[in-house]
């Protein structure tokens, strides 16, 4: 199985900050990576697919990059509604696997 | 509006069975692969199973193989997860979601249904 390792596990940031979250795959997955945002008590919401494609309706301050084993989710200017937990997910092969999550907290 | 609604969760004793359902409205789920994902209390996301549009392909995480069965009835616009021989570690919120075979992303999600396995 492909293991997905996210870092950091949590980050404290202020409104307007640039936030970067990384995700590393245990083997190459090309660009088969998605990013999700999850708020407490809610289902996850797809932000990015195929590593860098923005899902319809997602604000442009979210961006993704990377290929192979190393990937990044960037929030260019953190907004109050962005405080949440973020997960990466590899889609290269079954079983689909998720990273452990990164909680973005208010500083 | 696209909507997925799960049902069937609840409290069950270890070794028991439960059948989850997921109904859709606002779109044609029969054109999508479908997925079950679970999340234990306070934990991360775990993929459970996938099923192809016509049910001809199914995939499971190792920890549920032989115990869980994913199925669908496109005429009823419904997805199912039959869960047998339940264990305490199966306790989680179970989400159904649509899976894009093009992008690999889970696009539409239900609100989740809680399964608690406890004596």
Interface check B46 vs A, CB under 8 A: yes
Percentage above 70 pLDDT, chain B: 100
Q: What is the pLDDT of residue A99?
A: 98
Angstrom CA distances, A8 to A69, B28, B61, B84, B114, stand at: 16, 38, 26, 37, 28
Give the pLDDT score at B2: 82
pLDDT at res. B29: 77
Q: What are the residue ranges in chain A where pLDDT is below 50?
A: none
Tell me the pLDDT band of B23, cut-offs 50, 70 and 90. very high
Q: For residue A103, which residues of chain B lie inside 8 Å, CB to CB?
A: none
Task: State mean pLDDT over B42-69.
Answer: 97
Tell me how close the Cα of B31 comes to any Cα of chain A, in angstroms: 19
Distance CA(A49)–CA(A32), nearest Å, equals: 8
Chain centroid to CA B119: 23
- The reply to whether residue B44 touches residue A101, judged by beta carbons under 8 angstroms, is yes
Average pLDDT, rounded, for chain B: 95
pLDDT score for A11: 98
For residue A71, what are the contacts with CB-CB under 8 A and spacing of at least 6?
Answer: A22, A23, A24, A25, A33, A51, A64, A65, A88
What is the predicted pLDDT for the residue at B78?
94
**Per-residue pLDDT for B6 more than 80?**
yes
pLDDT of residue B26: 77
Whether B25 has a pLDDT exceeding 90, the answer reads no
pLDDT single digits (tens) A9-38: 999 999 999 999 999 999 999 999 999 999
Please tell me which residue of chain A has the smallest CA distance to B109. Answer: A43
Task: Please report, rounded to a whole number, the percentage of residues in chain A having pLDDT higher than 90.
Answer: 98
Query: For testing the chain A interface, which of B104, B108, B113 should be mutated: the one with the most A CBs within 10 Å?
Result: B104
Helix (H, G, I), strand (E, B) or coil at B76: helix
Q: A99: Cβ–Cβ under 8 A, 6 or more apart, which residues?
A: A4, A5, A6, A23, A87, A88, A89, B44
Half-sphere exposure of A26 (CA within 13 A, CB side): 10
HEC string of chain A equals CCCEEEECCEEEECCCCCEEEEEEECCCCCCCEEEEEECCCCCCEEEEECCCEECCCCCCCEEEEEECCEEEEEECCCCHHHCCEEEEEECCCCCCEECCCEEEEEC
B103 with A50: Cβ contact below 8 A = yes
Q: Kindly report the nearest CA distance between residue B58 and chain A, in angstroms.
A: 10
């Amino acid at each position: 199985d492909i293991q997905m390792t996210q870092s950091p596990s949590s980050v404290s940031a202020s409104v307007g900050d640039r936030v970067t979250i990384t995700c590393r795959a245990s083997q190459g997955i090309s660009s088969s990576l998605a990013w999700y945002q999850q708020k407490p008590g809610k289902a996850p919401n797809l932000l990015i697919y195929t590593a860098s494609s923005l899902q319809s309706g997602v604000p442009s301050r979210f961006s993704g990059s990377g290929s192979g084993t190393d990937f990044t989710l960037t929030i260019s200017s953190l907004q109050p509604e962005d405080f949440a937990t973020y997960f990466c997910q590899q889609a290269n092969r079954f079983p689909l696997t998720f990273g452990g999550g990164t909680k973005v907290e208010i500083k | 509006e696209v909507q997925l609604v799960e049902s069937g969760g609840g409290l069950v004793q270890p070794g028991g069975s439960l059948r989850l359902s997921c109904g859709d409205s606002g779109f044609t789920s029969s054109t999508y692969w479908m997925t079950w994902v679970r999340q234990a209390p306070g934990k991360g996301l775990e993929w459970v199973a996938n099923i192809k549009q016509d049910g001809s392909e199914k995939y499971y995480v190792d920890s549920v193989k032989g115990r869980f069965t994913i199925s669908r009835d496109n005429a009823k616009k419904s997805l199912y997860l039959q869960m047998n021989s339940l264990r305490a570690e199966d306790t989680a919120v179970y989400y159904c979601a649509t899976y894009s075979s093009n992008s690999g992303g889970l696009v539409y999600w239900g609100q989740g249904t809680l399964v608690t396995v406890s004596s």
